[in-house]
Amino acid sequence: MPRTRRKRPREAAKVPRSDATLPEFDRGAVPEGLVTRRALREMGLSPGDNEGPVAILRCCLCATRPNWSCRHPTRGFLLRVDLARPKRTPTLAQELALDRAIAARSTCPKCARRYVYCLPLRTVGSCDPCAQGYEPSPDTYFTSTAPVTHRLAA
């Protein structure tokens, strides 16, 4: 028999819904307070005290077979919102890195002014006043200069 490689059934193993270890809900019928991991992340929350999923969000295929437990990979795992915690705030190092990235993008390598907006460094390579040869208006860059060490040369 040459077709031995098709042993794995296309259909996920059928388990009666009564044997399911977790309660299952169809899309649109999920009780309040339960969300998928992804939804939690989009809310800016981490699982927090959730110790694993408390329910299953059934895949749309399974909406037509209510008697069977959803074992499809597209099912979602539902977590409790009330146990979730806000995501950890960025560390100081992360904030510094972000600040430096913004500084690099808003500092002109020619005149070393740091502007209040990001510069077209990829295309023009300098601030507009340098490229066009005029004095920038003082309200477009920081006059009370941050220490020079803070600046990143491009």
Judged by the rule CB under 5 A, the positions of this chain that interact with Zn ion are 59, 61-62, 70, 72, 108, 110-111, 126-127, 130
CA atoms within 13 A on the CB side of 58: 23
Shortest distance (Å) from residue 57 CB to Zn ion: 10
Shortest distance (Å) from residue 93 CB to Zn ion: 29
Burial class of residue 81, CB neighbours in 10 A (0-12, 13-18, 19+): middle
Of 45 and 127, which CB lies nearer to Zn ion in the complex structure? 127
User: In whole angstroms, what is the distance from residue 128 CA to residue 98 CA?
Assistant: 24
Shortest distance (Å) from residue 110 CB to Zn ion: 4
Beta strands per DSSP E along 52-151? 55-57, 76-80, 85-86
Of 2 and 28, which CB lies nearer to Zn ion in the complex structure? 28
Of 17 and 41, which CB lies nearer to Zn ion in the complex structure? 17
